[in-house]
Amino acid sequence: MRNFFTSMLGALVALVIFAGGCVLVFIGFIGAIAAIGGGEKAAPALARGSYVVFDLSSNITDAPPPVDLGMFGGARDDTIQLRTITRALRAAAKDDRVAGVFVTGDLTPAAFGSGYAALREVRAALNEFKAAGKPITAYLTYATTKDYYLASAATDLAIDPYGMIMMPGLASEPMFYAGAFEKYGIDVQVTRVGKYKSYVEPFTRTDMSPENREQVKKLLDDIWGGLLTDVAAGRGLTPAKIQATVDAEGLIRPEAAAKARLVDRVAYRDEIYDDLKAKTGRKDSSEPFKQITLADYAKIAKDVPLAPEKQGEKDEGSAGSGGSGRIAVVYAEGDIVDGEGDIGEVGGSRFSRELRKLRQDDEVKAVVLRVNSPGGSASAAETIQREIRLLKKVKPVIVSMGSYAASGGYWISAYGDRILAEPTTITGSIGVFGIQFDVKKLANNFGLTFDSVKTGKFADSITITRPKTPEEMAVFQRMVDWIYNEFIDKVADGRKLQRTVVEEIAQGRVWSGTEAVKLGLVDEIGGLDAAIALAASRAGLGTHYQLTEYPREKELFEVIQDFMENGLPERARGTGIAAKIAARIETELQTLKSFNDPRGVYARLPLELTIH
């Protein structure tokens, strides 16, 4: 008994110490946030003749990051918003204090960020900076296709002597589970419409179907052709010459890159820094070259006078701002799911609620819907589309497609007054599927069995404990067929196309933005800024308007609440082989987790149409 009380007392003391430590850590954390969040920070210093340092080492997202990770003591954020980059670069082009831009680092794409459509908008901003007569210096080490695509806009492009351009071409490598499912006793039954609707293939096949291979090959060719055209223009080459180098080298070493004029020179980083020191008036100085990070410059870029066509535009952090009128940019970025949705998801209930508020807000004169989504729940997509149809009746709705606007992502786009996309946007995929899992064999292998009592023939049809009967599968197929027909009708109505035309270009097939314009699924090629300008014009605002973004960055108290509920935001993962494998599996499992349509019917791209 004495030992029992001694052990219990020791455990209580340890618990008290642990709890006290947690409280102290939490109080310290709150104090740190309060110190950062309370009071105004001094504006970043900008010496005349400085270079804006554009460090690519982040994930470029369409929507603003929900939380500013810099407040947690990190040296930099792991994400940066697309418009933060483009507005900063365009302001820097007109800022006589800025002498040039230095591009360095490697992108760290995650989820649906840093897609080729977003990168094309960044590259366009770099080209505008260059067109203003200011130099861009870029330095590469181990550059991926995405890194090189941005860097190729530079006026002076250098690569480390032991670096490499890893640009062998584009590839898509889906993972297939059918063999593993068969081995472990998991059965899958599917219903779908559209011969190109390939989402279910990883669960039912061990390789790509001919139809899927056909559509992915065409998509990759379109995107790759667009990349080569842009790079060739930046480097003064032809796409054919770049392709010849890519095919001859695969992984392009520095000497080969210089010989093919893909880079201007081979140099060590310290040589580049010495050049920049000389250009910024600090030659032979012990100080670094005059510089300001792009993130810091973005904070003061709003003080730089805008071009005449941009006069009057002003970003506002929240609703209710005054002025001659507001344009709301609403970001649909991530999987479309029923309910509220998590961070990185487009929750049907939450998103439609925001659209409803904007519809009822008289100060909001137009809405730009920015879509960067592969789709998801059909019912959630319809919930969102319903609000867009209502919104369209009272104010202009312009759709700006990002890197992905496919399947459910196209569903919510179809009724826009005007749809803009980039050539490299992945869109279309007008098709529907249902997927039913059966773990009976797996459970039986472990000695687990199931039985049931029911009050109707189909009472237990939504179960994973047994295979579905032919009658049950017929029910699911009827549901899929009905939703597919609804999808076709909505696209035909929203896009003012003949139903037979939509039926022919649907079938679950994905298209590039370039092809989508030809097919009538998209109106024109253009980025987010072009969509905003069009919305202002349609609303009769000219160049005098304020801009509000949804979702917005969270206030301090919201960040604290999130911390209490979920802990600190997750930082970027490692880049080693094990980390990449784990991230791939986790991503695909997370996608399955987002499958919460109450009818089990989805309008989504293939499981992971990953292009690298």
195 is catalytic: no
Contact predicate 542/313, CB 8 Å: no
Q: Of 344, 405, 353, nearest to 384 (Cα)?
A: 353
A 10 A CB-CB count for 296 gives 17
58 is catalytic: no
Tell me the CB-side half-sphere exposure of residue 196, using CA atoms within 13 A.
23
pLDDT for res 380: 96
- Pairing state of beta strands 546-550 and 314-316? parallel
**Token pair of 612 as six digits:** 């690298």
Give Cα 260 distance to the centre of its chain: 33
CATH 3.90.226.10 domain span(s) along the chain: 50-168+250-300, 306-554+563-601
Q: Of 306, 315, 270, nearest to 288 (Cα)?
A: 270
Q: Tell me which of 3.20.20.105, 3.90.226.10, 3.40.50.720, 1.10.150.120 is the CATH number of domain 50-168+250-300.
A: 3.90.226.10
pLDDT for res 553: 65
| 463-494 pLDDT tens trace | 889 999 999 999 999 999 999 999 999 999 99
pLDDT for res 394: 98
Catalytic residue among 58, 377, 407, 594: 407
Residue 455 DSSP class: S
pLDDT < 70 positions in the chain: 1-42, 67-77, 302-323, 553-602, 604, 606-612
Which DSSP helix (H) or strand (E) runs through 266? Answer: strand 265-266
Whose tokens are 């960020």? That residue is 113
Domain 306-554+563-601 has CATH 3.90.226.10: yes
Contact predicate 62/372, CB 8 Å: yes
- What's the predicted TM-score (pTM) here? 0.84
Catalytic residue among 197, 290, 440, 490: 197
Q: Is the peptide bond before 606 cis (omega within 30 degrees of 0)?
A: no
